[in-house]
Structure 1
């Protein structure tokens, strides 16, 4: 992990098209502004982990046989 120190209004550039800017610092909270292309998804970590967990659950639905579906229709 790269660790950088930044002050208010200072930024960090990631690649050629993502810019992070420190907007405000109050106590133990930091507000960060992010400029990125619209096709780059940006999530808070806890939301990203929740999405990953739900995707894993959805992928674990098991296999349904075509014969079972046909039997349920009749």
Structure 2
């Protein structure tokens, strides 16, 4: 698991789940269906503990996003 912090706007999430395995499975499906979409990040919301899937290019700065911990990159 990665301890790297990143900030995202929750509205930019492609998908979210309370279960890491479900989030990873969704991310793998997204990556398989859109291989040119760029890097996909699975991140855990620091406030509520849910996992969300984001495109890496949608990362924000701390003033414009909520804190997440990166758990996986595809």
| TM-score between the two structures when normalised by the length of structure 2 | 0.24
Q: Highest relative contact order (Cα 8 Å, sep 6+), 1 or 2?
A: 2
Structure ID, larger Rg = 1
Structure with higher helix content: 1
| TM-score between the two structures when normalised by the length of structure 1 | 0.24
Structure with higher strand content: 2
